[in-house]
């Protein structure tokens, strides 16, 4: 079922999660172990992230270093199919521009369509560590907007080979990302919103936000979107801060702020156990306020922390 239908049919805020494929060589059981405790909250959907290749240097005989391309977390599509089969829940693969030619994207979308996957979250992806800025593949997409346009075309039966006659249209519901605290590359929020609106105008039907710890930023962002003609559902993304390291790594990686009152509470903690308790408490308060405001869904970036997500969900749903 298309997510946009699910969202419009529900009168109350839904619950959803994002998971990461396991590291290469690990069992899919770790995915099930993360989802099982959360099934009682009836997730409306489970997002599965996509991780592109990285380059590492391997030491070879004679001491020389060889540059090797590896994908540490493959399996996005397989995990989606497995989740849908095991739990009968909508699984949403993340599809990125980075590392894909248009042709490869088209073939990946055909696989998803054949698997009965109705929903996709379309993203640009970040630059790989060895590149200072995002570089698209030759004949790949530079922005998520281009990817939205490709999927939308396939939804009307237009594939890359324009000579193809009577091609079967796909029927994907398209989700995209947005940033209540602005995407880090955007010169300002208005510019970021211009491109966000372009993605919606091109056919994106719902938005999932980057994590944020200050609801005010989300509410202001939604207001700005509405004022700028972006009228699709905007699903807030939530992360439970669970250890001391994340106080600095989350702002660094995701370009977000830790609000001062939250930071002051975290600073008082003696160990990670206390940090996790404070993180859960903060997320419960955030969630309750968002549900009160009747947001379409609360989307939790579980990052393997299903125990903490369960502790929040129990208080909210
Ligand atoms: P875009 O919408 O393409 O925007 C990127 C930047 O370019 C923005 O600054 C925008 O303002 C600007 N821009 C957009 N269009 C244009 C244009 N036509 N001309 C000029 N500038 C333009 N990454 C992964 O690798 N795998 C994942 O699974 C993944 N999942 C994510 C899930 C969510 C909910 C979120 C919020 C992010 C996720 N990311 C993931 C990270 C994401 O790929 C990065 O944040 C990336 O830097 C931007 O992706 P985007 O789709 O927002 O890009």
Give nearest CA residue, ligand 1 atom 26: 50
Ligand 1 pocket test, pick from 143, 150, 196 with the greatest ligand atom count within 8 Å of Cβ, gives 143
Q: Closest ligand 1 atom to the C-alpha of 192?
A: 11
User: How far is residue 247's CA from residue 243's CA, in Å, rounded to a whole number?
Assistant: 7
Q: Degrees (nearest 5) of the Cα angle 282, 283, 286?
A: 90
SS3 177: strand
pLDDT of residue 43: 98
User: How far is residue 35's CA from residue 29's CA, in Å, rounded to a whole number?
Assistant: 10
Give nearest CA residue, ligand 1 atom 51: 123
**Structure token digits, residue 197:** 């609106």
CB 185: neighbour CB atoms within 10 A? 13
Task: Name the average pLDDT for the chain.
Answer: 96
Confidence check: pLDDT of 197 > 90: yes
- Give the model's confidence band at 285: pLDDT under 50 very low, under 70 low, under 90 confident, else very high: very high
Q: Closest ligand 1 atom to the C-alpha of 144?
A: 3
Residue pLDDT, tens place only, 125-179 = 999 888 899 999 999 999 999 999 999 999 999 999 988 889 999 999 999 999 9
Q: Among candidates 303, 290, 312, which has minimal Cα distance to 234?
A: 290
Q: What is the pTM of this model?
A: 0.97
**Helices (H), ranges, 156-297:** 189-201, 215-227, 245-254, 260-267, 272-292
**Structure token digits, residue 117:** 């996957």
**Mean pLDDT of the region 235-242:** 98
Own/partner contacts of 258-267, CB < 8 Å, gap of 24 or more, are 258/213, 259/213, 259/214, 262/213, 266/241
Residue pair 141/149 in contact by the 8 Å Cβ criterion: no
Give nearest CA residue, ligand 1 atom 28: 49
205 is annotated as an active-site residue = no
**Structure token digits, residue 64:** 């020389």
Domain boundary assignment for the chain: 3-316
**Structure token digits, residue 172:** 């994907």
Confidence check: pLDDT of 284 > 90: yes
Confidence check: pLDDT of 58 > 90: no
User: What is the Å distance from ligand 1's center to 52 Cα?
Assistant: 14
pLDDT of residue 109: 98
Residue pair 10/43 in contact by the 8 Å Cβ criterion: no
Helices (H) and strands (E) in the chain, counts: 11, 10
Residue pLDDT, tens place only, 198-235 = 999 999 999 999 999 999 999 999 999 999 999 999 99
Ligand 1 pocket test, pick from 80, 131, 183, 212 with the greatest ligand atom count within 8 Å of Cβ, gives 183
* CA distance readout (Å), 234 to 41, 174, 177, 180, 238: 21, 13, 9, 10, 13
User: How far is residue 196's CA from residue 95's CA, in Å, rounded to a whole number?
Assistant: 17
Residue pLDDT, tens place only, 94-106 = 999 999 999 999 9
For the domain covering 3-316, report its CATH number.
Answer: 3.20.20.220
Ligand 1 pocket test, pick from 195, 203, 234 with the greatest ligand atom count within 8 Å of Cβ, gives 195
Write down the catalytic residue from 18, 106, 181, 205: 18
pLDDT of residue 70: 85
Residue pLDDT, tens place only, 165-174 = 899 999 999 9
Confidence check: pLDDT of 68 > 90: no
CB 129: neighbour CB atoms within 10 A? 9
Q: Ligand 1 pocket by C-beta < 6 Å: which residues?
A: 49-50, 94, 96, 123-126, 143-145, 177, 183, 185-186, 191-192, 195, 208, 210, 237
């Amino acid at each position: 079922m298309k997510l946009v239908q699910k969202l419009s049919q529900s009168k109350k805020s839904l619950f959803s999660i994002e998971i990461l494929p396991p590291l290469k060589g690990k069992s899919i059981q770790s995915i099930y172990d993360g989802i099982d405790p959360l099934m009682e909250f009836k997730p409306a959907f489970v997002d599965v992230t996509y991780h592109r290749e990285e380059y590492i240097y391997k030491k070879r005989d004679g001491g020389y270093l060889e540059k090797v391309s590896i994908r540490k977390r493959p399996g996005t599509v397989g995990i989606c199919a497995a989740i849908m089969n095991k739990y009968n829940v909508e699984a949403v693969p993340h599809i990125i521009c980075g590392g894909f030619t248009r042709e490869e994207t088209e073939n990946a979308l055909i696989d998803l369509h054949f698997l009965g996957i109705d929903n996709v979250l379309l993203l640009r992806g970040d630059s790989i560590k060895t590149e200072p800025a995002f570089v698209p593949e030759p004949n790949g997409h530079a922005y998520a907007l281009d990817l939205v346009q490709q999927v939308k075309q396939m939804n009307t039966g237009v594939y890359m080979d324009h000579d193809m006659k009577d091609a079967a249209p796909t029927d994907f519901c398209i989700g995209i990302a947005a940033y209540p605290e602005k995407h880090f590359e955007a010169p300002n929020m208005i510019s970021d919103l211009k491109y966000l609106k372009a993605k919606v105008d091109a056919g994106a039907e719902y938005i999932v936000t980057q994590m944020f710890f200050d609801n005010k930023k989300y509410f202001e962002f939604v207001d700005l979107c509405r004022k700028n003609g972006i009228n699709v559902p905007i699903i807030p993304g939530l992360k439970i801060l669970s250890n001391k390291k994340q106080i600095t790594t989350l702002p660094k990686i995701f370009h977000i702020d830790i609000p001062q009152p939250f930071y002051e509470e975290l600073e008082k903690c003696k160990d990670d156990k206390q940090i996790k308790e404070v993180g859960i408490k903060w997320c419960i308060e955030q969630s309750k306020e968002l549900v009160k405001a009747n947001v379409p869904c609360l989307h939790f970036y579980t990052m393997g922390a299903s125990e903490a997500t369960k502790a929040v969900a129990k208080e909210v749903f």
